[in-house]
Amino acid sequence: MPSTYAEDLARILPETVLALGACFALVADLLWKGRESRRVGTIALIAIAASVFALLRQEPRPAIAFGMVTVDGFGALFKVFVAATLAVVVLFAHSSRELPRHGAGEFYFLLLSAGVGAYFLVSTTNLLLLVLALELLGLASYVLAGFAKGDRRSAEAALKYLVFGAAATGVMLFGLSILFGLTGSLDAREMASILAGKAADPASGEAVDRFRVAGPAVAIAVVLAFVGFGYKVSAVPFHWWAPDVYEGAPTPVTTFLAVASKGAAFGALLRFSAALLPSPAMGEGAAAFSGKLGSLLALISAVTMTLGNLAALRQTNLKRLLAYSSIAHAGYTLMGVATLEPGGFETSVFYLFAYYFMNLGAFGAVIYFARSTGNEDIDSLRGLGWRAPFVSGCVVVFLLSLVGIPPTVGFFGKWYLFLAAWNAGFGWLTVVAALNAVVSLFYYFRIVKALYFSPESEAVFHHRPVPSLAAILGLLTVGTFWFGPFPETIRAACAESVRFLF
């Protein structure tokens, strides 16, 4: 029995609540006297909390809303991931000196709008809605990257992000249009069903596997479609925008791009891959293509993590270093995607949640120290390990997790990825990833060296630290430690969510 309009509307209630919260934040900013931005930020937090509440109240069984939005456990898990990141970014924005305290309420409108785009992005196999969600997320992010008015670096970041984003989206649309032309459908699952059927061989007229006839065109289309995903997750060779944008954008915006935007893009990539990519059931041609595509993704994974780690060795700016680090971690996450198997997808999802704690903590530390020293360079941290022992200790934990040192959650995330890649026949990729983890130790240790291997007398504090920001870093540190030795809760949730894809 087809669902009613009211039932479909109830299924997208989390997205609706977040969109209404964005509109209310914009109107409130215009009407309130003084245009106090923190009050608008409070509205944003309430909207995020209400969205999560609506999300938790949804029925557990999968459903389709308006024929386009897939409501299931996989989408719900990633929506919680995005909402949790949005909440932390709002708190970071309250503590950052890069955003004005008055007249900047539209920042939260744009942030929530990007969140709505991310919600829809992880919840659809309809290619039209996929592109619209990607553009909503992208357009809001372009403006957020240039939000530091009067800052030349921020304007440059927004322009580069826009230009690269437009090019990547155009290439992706070209690939998706080929898929539509081949199948006559806009839904990835229907496309897969059509390609799994029979077609007449143009040469002999006999019925053969449709994929054997359309295989080359499908291969080109899928590769072109992957350009858009590669751009959003900053995988090589679509990574060029990341260092400049991460460095030039306000740090709370950089945090959103590095965690929420990237996480949503990986969620969409996993859903798209599970829905559309060929399976052995489609015939020998499909199975051969699937193997070649997995090898291509494994190669991109290896090149991405290697370039990211090697380039990070020469960076002196903290945000630029973390940008290349983020590129490297995109390579690690792609290890699970390259397996094209449920177990590999599960490890990629788990690693994204590990990445949540350690990367949010790292960028929060950048905000804390930049506010205290007025500088984002590594040299500005000299001696601060003794002047700010609590936050510096948290930073060490985040760095250990980014490297993959036990017992942090980053170690277990990498360990599961290594096992998944090894079991899928990518032993060489596992060796490359292990060597890259060793390389990353060198540039992360430079931060530890600046904090602790200089006397306290060299530490410079221009402004009072923010206790609330230190408290957030403390909570992220607890998560980094707790979900390392005890990863079962997140692993079970990841396994259950991936089950909905297959």
DSSP string over 398-465:
HHHHHHT-TTSHHHHHHHHHHHHHHHTT-HHHHHHHHHHHHHHHHHHHHHHHHHHSS-GGG----S--
Q: What is the mean pLDDT of residues 144-167?
A: 85
Amino acid at 395: V
Assigned token pair, 21: 């919260």
CA angle 454, 254, 80 (to 5 degrees): 115
Lowest mean pLDDT among 86-95, 159-168, 199-208, 478-487: 199-208
Q: What is the mean pLDDT of residues 175-191?
A: 85
DSSP for 317-367 reads BHHHHHHHHHHHHHHHHHHHHHTTSHHHHHHHHHHHHHHHHHHHHHHHHHH
Residues β-bridged to residue 377: 317
pLDDT at site 34: 62
Model confidence pLDDT, tens digit, residues 109-142: 999 999 999 999 999 888 999 999 999 999 999 9
Average pLDDT, rounded, for the chain: 84
Model confidence pLDDT, tens digit, residues 338-359: 988 888 899 999 999 888 888 9
Pairing of strands 63-65, 207-209: unpaired
pLDDT at site 288: 66
Alpha carbon 461 to its chain's center: 33
pLDDT at site 213: 59
Residues β-bridged to residue 64: 70
Percentage of the chain modeled with pLDDT above 70: 89
pLDDT at site 35: 64
Amino acid at 225: A
What is the 8-class DSSP label of residue 379?
G
Q: What is the mean pLDDT of residues 448-453?
A: 86
Q: What is the mean pLDDT of residues 254-263?
A: 91
Residues 6 or more apart whose Cβ sits within 8 Å of residue 59: none
Which is it for the CA torsion 414, 417, 422, 423, positive or negative? positive
Exposed e or buried b per residue across 136-170, where buried means at least 16 C-beta atoms within 10 angstroms of its C-beta = bbbbbbbbbbbbbeeeeebebbbbbbbebbeebbe
Q: Is the pLDDT of residue 458 over 80?
A: no
What is the 8-class DSSP label of residue 187?
B
Model confidence pLDDT, tens digit, residues 9-54: 888 899 999 999 999 888 887 777 766 677 888 889 999 999 999 9
* Residue 413 and residue 355 in contact, taking contact as beta carbons nearer than 8 Å: yes
Lowest mean pLDDT among 9-18, 212-221, 265-274, 472-481: 212-221
Percentage of the chain modeled with pLDDT above 90: 30
Which is it for the CA torsion 228, 229, 230, 233, positive or negative? positive
pLDDT at site 186: 86
pLDDT at site 215: 66
Q: Is the pLDDT of residue 104 over 90?
A: no
pLDDT at site 276: 75
Residue appearing with tokens 């707790």: 482
CA angle 7, 8, 12 (to 5 degrees): 115
Q: Which residue has the higher pLDDT, 386 or 261?
A: 261
Q: How far apart are CA 191 and CA 43, in angstroms?
A: 41
Q: Which residue has the higher pLDDT, 280 or 120?
A: 120
Residues β-bridged to residue 199: 208
Q: Is the pLDDT of residue 249 over 80?
A: yes
pLDDT at site 219: 79
Q: Phi/psi zone of residue 205: left (φ > 0), alpha (ψ -120 to 50 degrees), beta? A: left
Assigned token pair, 102: 């008055």
Single pTM value for the model: 0.90
Q: Is the pLDDT of residue 295 over 80?
A: yes
CA angle 127, 128, 129 (to 5 degrees): 95
Q: Is the pLDDT of residue 279 over 60?
A: no
Q: Is the pLDDT of residue 99 over 80?
A: no
By residue count, the chain amounts to: 502
pLDDT at site 134: 92
89, 281, 329, 347, 355 from 298: Cα distances, Å: 32, 23, 14, 15, 20
Q: How crowded is residue 202: how many other Cβ atoms within 10 Å of its Cβ? A: 8
Amino acid at 481: F
Nearest to 107 by CA among 25, 187, 24: 25
Assigned token pair, 377: 């360079």
Q: Is the pLDDT of residue 203 over 80?
A: no
pLDDT at site 195: 73
Element (H, E) at 63: strand 63-65
Alpha carbon 410 to its chain's center: 16
pLDDT at site 102: 60
Assigned token pair, 285: 């041609």
* Helix locations, 57-151, DSSP H: 73-95, 106-121, 127-145
Q: Is the pLDDT of residue 281 over 70?
A: no
